[in-house]
Amino acid sequence: MKKPDVVRIVGTERPDGLALRTAGLNEHGLPELSADGLPPYLGQGWARVLGEAARVFAATHDYPMELTLVPDVTVRLWPDQNGGIMLLPPEDYVGGLDAWRRHVVLRLFPEARV
């Protein structure tokens, strides 16, 4: 399976928050990745998170249950109703979904603190 050269991140604003997903993994036999219900202020950061997750996911040769994006940032992969995969906190994460999403952005992109 050839790794994708270009993966786009597309988004939609919904009443419950932003819905982001990748576009381009499917063409290479991989499911698309997604994150739904994002607060608007995390949209740009999570577009970057999805891009990094797509890069790591495309480099794997199987379908793991979790991806390690950096040594202390792991995301759980969970099938969605559309045949894609949602990025969720690891099973042992204690805290809310939005807090975890902020944590992921700040760990991957520390410059976001500024």
- pLDDT tens readout for residues 20-62: 999 999 988 899 999 999 999 999 999 999 999 999 999 887 7
Q: What per-residue confidence (pLDDT) applies to 50?
A: 96
Listed residue (94, 90, 70, 75) closest to 34, CA to CA: 75
> What angle, 0 to 180 degrees and rounded to 10, lies between the N-to-C axes of helices 97-108 and 43-59?
70
Question: pLDDT grade, residue 111 (50/70/90)?
Answer: confident
Listed residue (38, 45, 50, 61) closest to 109, CA to CA: 45
In the predicted structure, residue 2 carries a pLDDT above the cut 60: no
The set of residues, in sequence order, having a beta carbon less than 8 Å from that of 88 and lying 6+ positions away, is 75, 76, 77, 78, 97
